[in-house]
Structure 1
Amino acid sequence: MTALVVDHLAPVSLDELNVEAALQTRVDRKYVLTAAEATDLVDALDPATRVLEIDGGRTFTYSSTYLDTPDLVTFHQAARRRRRRFKVRTRTYVDTGGTFLEVKTRAARGVTVKERCPATDVADDLDAEAAEFVDDRLAAARLAAPPSSALRPVLRSRYRRTTLLTPDARVTLDTALTWQLVPGHDDERGTADVGDLVVVETKAGTAPSSVDRLLWRSGHRPDRLSKYATGLAVLRPDLPDHPWRRLRRERLAA
């Protein structure tokens, strides 16, 4: 398992992070790096960069369950690069506790809007309160979306996350990413992982952050990666994978 060295960075508390960079409305840019490339990135960051620290820990396990319709509406929206699309998932903070139901929508100019509420992980249907939240958020976003009653768990992901706060962005570094089909979705491959690769995500305003520019100078460009759609395409070879085909062949093939 890849272990990123961030001991030299000053800590930032969760409360401080949320005050300074909650960024529920933002532009996300993802990069898939080798462990060595990720280490070089961390070493080159602005000296003022801080790392999220909770109870002495700096890297935390996340578990997400993604919901979709039987005909995979949200997957196909991503596969076809629809500008107006959505995603529904639950996210559990395994180490620190707490689960949230999250609705992510894509607004104008590639801006991601994330809204969430406390919830429990889903094994089958959403309960009445969760369903109402999803329907309300999708209606507020003015999306032509199916009712929440059509959504079922399809895929689970799990990874270890380190969160950095730079002077102009929130940056996450995810290691040990694994995908698992929810039982009931038959396929020859039930699980997959990205090995020692590191998924780096910058979360900033519409303008690229200093971290994005640092990555660009090193020859990296944003990768098309969705922890849901890419993972499902890896596990379901019958599904279209055009947006992520190059990434799969060049970085995820191993």
Structure 2
Amino acid sequence: MKQSIPDIVKSLTSISLSDMEDVALMKRTDTKFVIHENQLISVLNAVKNAYHVLEIDGKRIMRYSSLYFDTANKKFYNDHHNGKVNRTKIRMRKYVDSDICFLEIKQKDGKGSTTKTRISIDDFEQDLSENSIGFINETTNSDFNLEPIIWNNFKRITLVNKVAKERLTIDLNLVFNKSGSFKSYNNLVIIEVKQERFSRSSPVVQQLKLKQINPYSISKYCIGMLSLYNDLKYNRFKKKLIRINKITA
């Protein structure tokens, strides 16, 4: 019988959210990989003894929903496209199964590190509250005139290394939405390895290397923007789009 991703995930030992505190890694190095969903089964089978899987209320494959914000001239997107090393990303993210929502700010520096800062909010705010605006201004030292720009929904598996300070997220079933227009990437899997500093001794990194899958810089936000906005610069992302379309074909 052919294994399924839920079957393999079910076979892993579990870890609770409170037990993950030691690997929160709010300041970290993120390394991404992209594969076809069919490849994920063999990767999971190869590393399943090295990782715990996050389980919340009996669920191991969680639903996530995000609302990204940007300026009217798409500053955050353009900063990424233009290769600016110090850049910002602002979003609201809801952990759908837990009904928990955060306003999150991710700031990347020129050394490759990412710092994530967040506050809890009651629910999505398409019109930013005074409290949210204050948090954004204080964290970024800037006064952006932000507007909601794109929605993103996906499912996530979170694995935690049993011996090293490392966790990884596996995102599947990506769907982007803007004003009723949708784009889905059902076969695309984005694996993101989160560490204090990049280590090739990571079990998942080693397995991906064996399959000749190398780190691949990609932004869900930028891919979603390119999928639903027609007036954006994209020459720096053209090869990424070609690869993603090839994977998901």
Q: Same fold (TM over 0.5)?
A: yes
* Equivalence map 1:38-57=2 (5 Å): 38-45=40-47, 47-57=49-59
Are residues 1:176 and 2:169 paired? Answer: no
1:236 alignment partner in structure 2: 229
Higher strand proportion (structure 1 or 2): 2
2:238 alignment partner in structure 1: 245
C-alpha distance in structure 1 between counterparts of 2:68 and 2:182, whole Å = 15
1:142 alignment partner in structure 2: none
TM superposition shift of 1:237: 3.3
Contact 1:13 1:53 in 2 (8 A): yes
Are residues 1:15 and 2:18 paired? Answer: yes
2:63 alignment partner in structure 1: 61
**TM-score, normalized by length of structure 2?**
0.90
TM superposition shift of 1:101: 0.3
| Runs of 4+ residues deviating >6 angstroms | none
C-alpha distance in structure 1 between counterparts of 2:138 and 2:119, whole Å = 12
Contact 2:5 2:41 in 1 (8 A): no
1:57 is paired with a residue whose SS is coil
2:107 alignment partner in structure 1: 105
C-alpha distance in structure 2 between counterparts of 1:205 and 1:51, whole Å = 20
2:98 alignment partner in structure 1: 96
Query: Which of 206, 214, 238 matches 1:221?
Result: 214
TM superposition shift of 1:29: 1.3
C-alpha distance in structure 1 between counterparts of 2:167 and 2:147, whole Å = 31
Query: Which of 158, 163, 172 matches 1:163?
Result: 158
Contact 1:179 1:193 in 2 (8 A): yes
The one-letter code sitting in structure 2 at the alignment partner of 1:246 is K
CA RMSD, aligned part only?
1.7
Are residues 1:207 and 2:201 paired? Answer: no
TM superposition shift of 1:88: 0.5
Gaps of 5+ in 2: none
Gaps of 5+ in 1: 140-144, 184-189
The one-letter code sitting in structure 1 at the alignment partner of 2:17 is L
Are residues 1:154 and 2:167 paired? Answer: no
2:38 is paired with a residue whose SS is helix
